[in-house]
Amino acid sequence: MAGPLRRSTHNRMIAGVCAGLAEHFGLDPTLLRVIYVLVSLLSAAFPGLLVYIVLWVVIPEGGDS
């Protein structure tokens, strides 16, 4: 793991949530985005949009690195 969890400022598509999670866990941001969308669409128990908005509010924006 690479430091504290922060939203990405340089690899963002919407708010940098998935890119920040990918950087934190050492994963490819595109792969994490695809997995997140698939889980959101295929699972009735995982409200993807609501979780994304909550993470957007909760995870602080990272500084330039």
pLDDT of residue 57: 96
pLDDT of residue 1: 55
Domain ranges of the chain: 1-65
pLDDT of residue 52: 92
pLDDT of residue 63: 73
Q: How many other C-beta atoms can be found within 10 angstroms of the C-beta atom of residue 11? A: 13
Quote the CA–CA distance of 41 and 9 in Å, as a whole number.
26
The length of the chain is: 65
Find the DSSP H helices in the chain: 17-25, 29-42, 48-58
pLDDT of residue 46: 82
- Whether this prediction's pTM lies above 0.85 is answered by no
pLDDT < 50 positions in the chain = none
pLDDT of residue 65: 52
